[in-house]
Amino acid sequence: TENFAEMMEEIKKMKKERNAVIVAHNYQLDEVQELADVVGDSFRLSQYCASTDADVVVFCGVHFMAESAKILSPEKTVLLPEIDAGCPMADMVTPEALIEEKKKYPNATVVCYINTSAAVKAECDVCCTSSNAVNVIRSIPNDEILFVPDKNLGSYVAKQVPDKKIHLWDGYCITHHRVSASDVQKAKGIHPDALVLAHPECRQEVLELADFVGSTAQIIEYAKKSSHDKFLIATEMGILHQLRKDNPDKTFYLLTQGLVCPNMKKTTVESVYNALKHGRYEIKLDEDIIRRARRSLDAMLRVR
Ligand code: 13P
Ligand code: SF4
């Protein structure tokens, strides 16, 4: 529509005026991904936010991601277009509960998944994303780890790094945790020649049946390089946009119809327009939280 085209024009104009960049997670709506300057997984987006010289970052994603951008670039204005776009898994651990749990394992190194609030990151030693969790934990000299909050990613890492004692937290992603082994078997029954590509937020029983396990960006890379031409995708549906764009001759099926993160779907082109127009919603964090949370993010970014 004319309105939509006008909105896109306005967004471009405001972006220039404010020296703003728009970044979007791989789970965002197709049109939001199309509009973004950078689309990626949590790791790539946090790396990008640490390096860009823009004055304003419009973060199309969920709250913890915009917070991470703010921690890495406190001098920038970071906007989250939809203030209610949260992550239920990140909400499964609070700083208070973590402080209590740390008392049980006083010698453990505390590792947090990037899907945590800034206040939780401030209580941790190292952060990780789904793309580097195994490497981050391997790089820690201590063999006792407390990992929060994703028990699925934590169990996956524990399997890859068997020499470490990893204490898990009872958190999970409601979207990925819904998928079961029988869903995989059913889907494979219908598409027997498809490879299963799964995100490590899925249950172990699902990951055991997968042909490849990785972050959203790693799944995209794997599908691009693979000589296979059919794939069952066990992660959020937004990823299909990039997969299909990159591989017009390959076929991608979402493993179950339930693989939708409602929070990732809240941001629209109109929300981005309003974010730039009204400078909303600005992420503000306590200086002390930024300083302490930054240590865990920096420790992650140093791991090769
Ligand atoms: P990645 O894009 O880092 O794989 O993360 C997936 C996710 O669930 C983010 O919330
Ligand atoms: Fe959080 Fe899961 Fe949504 Fe990712 S997909 S933002 S982990 S609820």
297 Cα: distance to centroid of ligand 2 (angstroms): 19
pTM: 0.97
- Position 219: which residue type? I
Helices 42-51 and 63-72: angle between axes, nearest 10 degrees: 30
Report percent pLDDT > 90 for the chain. Answer: 97
Minimal-distance CA residue to ligand 2 atom 6: 87
User: How far from chain centre, in Å, is Cα 297?
Assistant: 14
CATH no., domain 90-174+290-302? 3.40.50.10800
Minimal-distance CA residue to ligand 2 atom 5: 261
Per CATH, the homologous superfamily of domain 175-254 is: NadA-like (3.40.50.10800)
b/e per residue, 110-145, with b = 16+ CB within 10 A?
A: bbbbbbbbbbbbbbbbbbbbbbbbbebbeebeeeeb
- Position 250: which residue type? K
Same fold? 90-174+290-302, 175-254: yes
Tens digits of residue pLDDT in 260-284: 999 999 999 999 999 999 999 999 9
Minimal-distance CA residue to ligand 1 atom 10: 115
What backbone torsions phi and psi does residue 213 show, to the nearest 5 degrees? Answer: -125, 130
Minimal-distance CA residue to ligand 1 atom 2: 41
Structure tokens at 146: 């407390």
Structure tokens at 245: 């764009």
What residues have CB less than 8 Å from 44, skipping those under 6 apart? 38, 217
Closest ligand (CA of 47): 1
pLDDT for the residue numbered 304: 78
Cα–Cα nearest to 42, from 55, 20, 60: 60
Tens digits of residue pLDDT in 20-74: 999 999 999 999 999 999 999 999 998 899 899 999 999 999 999 999 999 999 9
User: How far from chain centre, in Å, is Cα 7?
Assistant: 28
- Fold held by 2-86+264-284: Rossmann fold (3.40.50)
Residue to probe by mutation, ligand 1, list 129, 153, 213, most atoms within 8 Å of CB: 129
Domain ranges of the chain: 2-86+264-284, 90-174+290-302, 175-254
213: pLDDT strictly greater than 70: yes
